[in-house]
Amino acid sequence: MDRRQFLSTAGGLGRVAALAPKPVDAAVYCFSVHNAKLRCTAGLLQSPPIAAQPCRALTWATCLSYMLQGYGANISERTVLDRYGKDGACTDPIGDETALLMGAAGTWRDDYGRRFLVLTRRLPDVSAGHLPVDDGRLIISRLARQPILCGAAGHTTLLTELVYDDSMITRLKVTEATVRDPWSETPQLRPLNDTELSKPFSMVSLSLRPL
């Protein structure tokens, strides 16, 4: 979904989304470093705060609500949990969070009764801090427009910025990543640590169309 489509969607739901995407060329910055390598930063310079979530097992619902609200849908965390048949207890077994996020695809009705279609896409995993170039371009293009649902921390966060080295060969090396983390035990806007970056992690993009 390009910028014009995103703004049209958000407007169709009653307001321009706070997470309105930036043009790719305005959100990716690169400079030369040694050995003909480029160091680039992609992502959002600003993003709205996310609600604090004291239960680590429910961060997926907090992040999903945040993304839907960014498109202009009036979807509370409680509405998300009700859709999934979850009571919101920290002891409620969650299972595969990536599968839960992918399962958001389909028709929704927000708290104002407006209907819309949610589309989800499983993006290529980051493996040990590396991405094949084509996969990296897909992620960077999406990140230049909106946050990405990210599983690197062992619970769902929102990836907002990525710093990577591009040596113009086969792989991009991710050197830094910034996330919005709703879990109340961590800083809300924080860099992923070296351990989090070194392990393979999943990412899911989300888009919305009014019906």
In three-state secondary structure terms, 129 is coil
In one-letter notation, the amino acid at residue 111 is: D
Residues 192-204 as b/e (b if ≥16 CB within 10 A, e otherwise) read beeebbeeebbbb
**Contact between residue 182 and residue 157 where contact means Cβ atoms under 8 Å apart:** yes
**Contact between residue 104 and residue 64 where contact means Cβ atoms under 8 Å apart:** yes
pLDDT per residue over 176-210, tens digit each?
999 999 999 999 999 999 999 988 889 999 999 99
Percentage of the chain beyond pLDDT 70 is 83
Q: In terms of residue numbers, what domain contains 61?
A: 3-210
Going by C-alpha positions, the residue among 59, 104, 93 that lies closest to residue 77 is: 59
pLDDT per residue over 45-91, tens digit each?
788 999 999 999 999 999 999 999 999 999 999 999 999 999 888 87
Higher per-residue pLDDT: 198 or 94:
198
pTM of the model: 0.84
Number of compact structural domains in the chain: 1
Band of the pLDDT at 4, cuts 50, 70, 90?
Answer: very low
Specify the pLDDT at position 7.
36
